[in-house]
Amino acid sequence: MGILNITPDSFFTGHLHKGLDEIIKMAGKMIEDGADILDIGGQSSRPGSKRISVDEELERVIPVIKAIQAKYKDVILSVDTFYSRVAESAINEGACIVNDISAGEIDPLMIETVASLKVPYICMHMKGTPDTMQDNIFYEDLIKEVIDFFIHKTEECRRAGIQDILLDPGFGFGKTIPHNFCLLKKLSVFKMLDKPILVGLSRKSTVTKTLNIHVEDALNGTTVLHTLALQNGADILRVHDVKEANETITLMTAYKNAVS
């Protein structure tokens, strides 16, 4: 899954876009590099980010979805939003998946909206909201709490009528760096929920702060964490660098399929 952030304040400035032509060019490069899904988001979710309105988010993402659909008709598009109205508009314009960092906690209409749209739903664990999630982080038992959250949420989604649910443990969303490494180490435990697992570790502070580097220098560290995620059961990598992630997947697949 290639990340297309249509925001002026993404944490990774290498993916800031100044116009529609540049965005379409980036989308084409990601498709050429092997992206199976493009995830389009108009709202920054970095720690401390300020929330924008539904209308502003629509103005950012809908023209991009329309333009990518017009040029690359076969690509699978995901909309990264916690607003039900943005999700509905994006699906009506050609997106196929709703990726909600709040798992329906911010907009109470989201889950029933996704159910009515009959599309897959990526359900992420986040403690708090983007503007507060890194304040006073505490868990009695991180893995148990995240699993319990997913058990509750998947049942809520199932009752609403959502058929296809994907789970994102939410690396960096209301978690410390040690929490993120714990999640990564225990990722295989989430297989008990029998749902595809999406992992978003690309160029995050788990890499940059651990290695004391800038985000622009975080590709190598990201690749190491992607390798560990795949080894521990990740099904989808959400990434800024599609070519390198695709190479990681290819090598890991060959490694797993090797005859002893």
Catalytic entry in 127, 153, 175, 204:
204
Is 238 an active-site residue?
A: yes
Catalytic entry in 71, 127, 238, 243:
238
Distance separating alpha carbons of residues 212 and 63, to the nearest angstrom: 38
DSSP for 111-132, written as a single string: HHHHHHHT--EEEE--SS-TTT
Q: How many CA atoms lie within 13 A of 222 on its CB side?
A: 25
* Beta-sheet strands, E only, within 43-157: 76-80, 97-100, 121-124
AA letter at 174: G
Tokens 């999640």 -> residue: 183
Is 204 an active-site residue?
A: yes
Phi (first) and psi of residue 177, to 5 degrees: -65, -45
Closest CA to 219 of 199, 243, 235: 243
* Beta-sheet strands, E only, within 136-244: 165-168, 198-199, 236-237
Burial label, 219 (beta-carbon count in 10 A; 0-12, 13-18, 19+)? middle
Cα of first residue to Cα of last residue in the chain, in angstroms, is 31
Distance separating alpha carbons of residues 217 and 207, to the nearest angstrom: 10
Which residues does the annotation mark as catalytic? Answer: 204, 238
